[in-house]
């Protein structure tokens, strides 16, 4: 009986009220189970021991959007170290006009 009337520590709502409202999962912090899952992306520079070169404009375009913005790590799959190097190489290539700052 005491378990049924147990009050959640964060709120003043009983378990019965949570079950009635359908919000029990929200208060407990459970996340929704999505249909989508992604595999772990591997940094291509770590795997292939490739060099990042600011003069390789075609290679650097893979790391920019159509509008010329630098893509984030979560999309490209590069590690933090190589993402910094890629960003610096893109900025150098922009400075010497190998890559555009903004796409037309």
What is the pLDDT confidence band of residue 31, given thresholds at 50, 70 and 90? low
Q: Which tens digit of pLDDT belongs to each residue from 7-23? A: 545 555 555 555 555 55
Three-state SS annotation for the chain? CCCCCCECCCCCCEHHHHHHHCCHHHHHCCCCCCCCCCCCCCCHHHHHCCCCCCCCHHHHHCCECCCCCECCHHHHCCCHHHHHHHHHHHHHHHHCCCCCCCCC
pLDDT at residue 103 in the model: 77
Mean pLDDT of 21-28: 52
Please give the domain boundaries of the chain with CATH numbers for all domains. Answer: 1-37 (no CATH), 44-95 (4.10.640.10)
């Amino acid at each position: 009986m005491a378990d049924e009337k147990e009050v959640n520590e964060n709120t003043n709502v009983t378990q019965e009220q949570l079950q009635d409202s359908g919000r029990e999962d929200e208060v407990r912090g459970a996340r929704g189970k999505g249909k989508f899952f992604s595999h772990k992306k591997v940094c291509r520079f770590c795997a292939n021991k490739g060099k990042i070169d600011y003069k390789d404009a075609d290679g650097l375009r893979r790391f920019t959007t159509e509008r010329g913005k630098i893509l984030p790590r979560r999309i490209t799959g590069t590690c933090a170290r190589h993402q910094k190097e890629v960003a610096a190489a893109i900025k150098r290539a922009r400075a010497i006009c190998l890559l555009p700052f903004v796409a037309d």
